[in-house]
Amino acid sequence: MSLFDKFQPIADIQAELQALGVMPFGAVTEKLLSPTEAIVDGHKVILAGTNNYLGLTFDPECLEAAKKAIDELGTGTTGSRMANGTFAGHVALEKELAEFFDRKHSIVFSTGYAATMGMGSTLAGPGDVIVLDADSHASIYDGVRLGGADVIRFRHNDPADLDKRLRRLGDRIDNTLIIVEGIYSMMGDQAPLAEIAAVKRKYGGLLLVDEAHSLGMLGDHGRGVAEAAGVEDDVDFVVGTFSKSLGAIGGYCVSNHDALNAIRFAIRSYIFTASPSPSVIASTRAALRLMQERPYLREQLWDNAQRLYDGLKALGLQVSPEVSPVVAVTIKERNQAIDWWNRLLQLGAYVNLVMPPASPTDNSLLRCSVSAAHSPEQIDRIIEAFATVKNAP
Amino acid sequence: MPDYNEYLERIFDVLKPFAKQGILLNEESELVTELGLTSLQVMELIEQLEDHFDMSIPLNILPDVRTVHDLALALEKLNP
């Protein structure tokens, strides 16, 4: 036995993929041609798996803001928010996020992972309870495991199951944090947040919602599923990321609880890491403003989502349960998924290959994400690539 | 409250559909290495046991659970 033995299953899969000449988990984007086109592993492709939901990564205003910040503030902060790493831009972004979400307080993190992991590990500790949706993201699972609270899962998107599990807690509900996501990253399905909030109101506890994949997509202001479901008052903490609809990297938490001011200085993933670079903060602030100024981006995004969803469904593929900017095609056989992924790439469509245990079931997924920046013609070309692969086994 | 043997009996019942064909279940059966349960199946097993016994089973017990015996013992401790 050695320390390395446990990695052998991963090495075996790598060797298998290498023998097939396919490297889906290390595909190299060699050149970006636009928010929706690139050269990946030598192939000119339409990007259909980048989470660039609003297509803002090359927006001139975001680029200009980032360039100006580099010129004026340098390439990095070289320190923690708690030491030298809080610049005026970080504070301004926190204020703007709080205003956007209509909440009293906000914290900016260096990544979305640091935000969800940090909040999950800090809010509930030993003796407390966390009840989370079974399909929660790895950053949530990592956080709650680190925090040491008792962790209980409820069945995915099943408010009745949540009800049952909260009932069993009895008095412990006062020390309970419920965690769900807005839109789930793998299948693109939305949480039934109105029903979940009703269960929370019935028993108590605090509710944290990860809106990483729903910011800018849902609700009158684009605040996510909580806004769309009309239950923002029931949500105690909203966390999310800048790396999807805002086209940068970083994370946030917003809340009306005054305790967030003290919690900030207990979150290890906030304290013991360097703060986001000035250019990242600058482009994020620009993107947050543009997202509010351009509600039509949301409409374009959903039009594209509907077009891709309908097109893939019409091919007879097993698609996600509901229309969403994330459209996942379920492929039962892993080798078929690998083969399809590779052929899609060669046909000019880059999608994400997801294999267990990253997928929520024992099946593999070809996960597509659409952007407001996709043209209808690009969406059609993605559908055509799937049709070609399906019809020529 | 159920005793160790009741937990054991129920775990055997719930495990049957999950376990690899032809493997005889006993107290020392190892859930992952011997019975071939995936991490997802272990979670489903826990959910089914929670519902059957109407109790909370935190995932925190899992690092100490290797065999069927370990699991029955952990449930007994949670619900003494």
What CATH number corresponds to the domain at position A377?
Answer: 3.90.1150.10
The burial class, CB within 10 Å (0-12 / 13-18 / 19+), for A238 is buried
A393 has pLDDT over 70: no
> Shortest CB distance from B59 goes to which of A151, A165, A356?
A151
Is A142 in the same domain as A229? yes
Q: How far is B54 from chain A (nearest CA, A)?
A: 7
Is A121 in the same domain as A221? yes
Does the annotation mark A244 as catalytic?
A: yes
**What is the mean predicted confidence (pLDDT) over A34-45?**
96
Does the annotation mark A374 as catalytic?
A: no
Has residue A265 been placed in a domain? yes
Rounded alpha-carbon distances, angstroms, from residue A291 to A37, A61, A283: 21, 12, 12
B21 interface with A at CB cutoff 8 Å: no
Sheet strand arrangement including A251-255: A105-109, A251-255, A237-241, A206-210, A176-181, A129-133, A150-154
Is A202 in the same domain as A108? yes
Domain span at residue A52?
5-56+295-391
- Partners of B59 on chain A (C-beta within 8 Å) are 151-153
Q: How confident is the model at residue A21 (pLDDT cuts 50, 70, 90)?
A: confident
CB atoms inside a 10 Å sphere around CB B17: 9
- Structural domains in chain B, sorted by start: 4-78 (1.10.1200.10)
Has residue A153 been placed in a domain? yes
Is A16 in the same domain as A134? no
B40 has pLDDT over 90: no
Name the helix (H) or strand (E) containing A247.
none
Is A180 in the same domain as A236? yes
Q: How far is B27 from chain A (nearest CA, A)?
A: 25
pLDDT, tens digit, 9 for 90 and up, residues A112-163: 999 999 999 999 999 999 999 999 999 999 999 999 999 999 999 999 999 9
Q: Which of A213, A214, A283, A359 is catalytic?
A: A213
B46 has pLDDT over 90: yes
**How many residue pairs bridge chain A and chain B with CB atoms within 8 Å of each other?**
37
Integer Cα distance of A344 and A177 in angstroms: 42
Is residue A357 reached through a cis peptide bond, with omega within 30 degrees of 0 on the bond before it?
yes
Among A207, A242, A276, give the residue marking a domain's end: A276
Among A227, A246, A276, give the residue marking a domain's end: A276
Is A232 in the same domain as A110? yes
Q: What DSSP character marks residue A265?
A: G
Counting residues of chain A whose pLDDT is more than 90, the rounded percentage is 92
Is A233 in the same domain as A347? no
Give ipTM to 2 decimals: 0.91
Has residue A340 been placed in a domain? yes
Is A25 in the same domain as A82? no
Domain count, chain A: 2
Integer Cα distance of A164 and A141 in angstroms: 21
Has residue A70 been placed in a domain? no
Is A147 in the same domain as A180? yes
Q: Of A19-23, A244-248, B48-52, where does mean pLDDT reach its minimum?
A: A19-23
Contact A152 B51 (CB under 8 A): no
Q: Which of A106, A185, A243, A245 is catalytic?
A: A185
Among A241, A276, A311, give the residue marking a domain's end: A276
Is A239 in the same domain as A336? no
Contact B50 A151 (CB under 8 A): no
B75 has pLDDT over 70: yes
Q: Within 13 A of B67's CA, how many CA atoms are on the CB side?
A: 8
**What is the mean predicted confidence (pLDDT) over A321-349?**
95
Q: How far is B21 from chain A (nearest CA, A)?
A: 18
Rounded alpha-carbon distances, angstroms, from residue B69 to A75, B28, B52: 56, 6, 18
Has residue A143 been placed in a domain? yes
Contact B40 A362 (CB under 8 A): yes
**Residue A190 phi, psi (nearest 5):** -90, 145
Has residue A252 been placed in a domain? yes
Has residue A248 been placed in a domain? yes
pLDDT, tens digit, 9 for 90 and up, residues A167-217: 999 999 999 999 999 999 999 999 999 999 999 999 999 999 999 999 999
Classify strands A176-181 and A251-255 as parallel, antiparallel or unpaired: unpaired
Is A147 in the same domain as A267? yes
- Partners of B54 on chain A (C-beta within 8 Å) are 168
Is A140 in the same domain as A181? yes
B2 has pLDDT over 90: no
Per-residue HEC secondary structure of chain B comes to: CCCHHHHHHHHHHHHCCCCCCCCCCCCCCECCCCCCCCHHHHHHHHHHHHHHHCCCCCHHHHHHCCEHHHHHHHHHHHCC
DSSP assignment of A136-158 equals: --HHHHHHHHHHT-EEEEE-TT-
CB A134 within 8 A of CB B43: yes
Has residue A283 been placed in a domain? no
CB B69 within 8 A of CB B28: yes
Does the annotation mark A213 as catalytic?
A: yes
Integer Cα distance of A234 and A222 in angstroms: 18
- Partners of B60 on chain A (C-beta within 8 Å) are 148, 150-151
CB atoms inside a 10 Å sphere around CB A371: 28
Contact A153 B43 (CB under 8 A): yes
**Residue A324 phi, psi (nearest 5):** -165, 160
> Shortest CB distance from A152 goes to which of B39, B51, B56?
B56
What CATH number corresponds to the domain at position A161?
Answer: 3.40.640.10
Q: How far is B28 from chain A (nearest CA, A)?
A: 22
Rounded alpha-carbon distances, angstroms, from residue A300 to A307, A372, A375: 10, 5, 9
Integer Cα distance of B51 and A368 in angstroms: 35
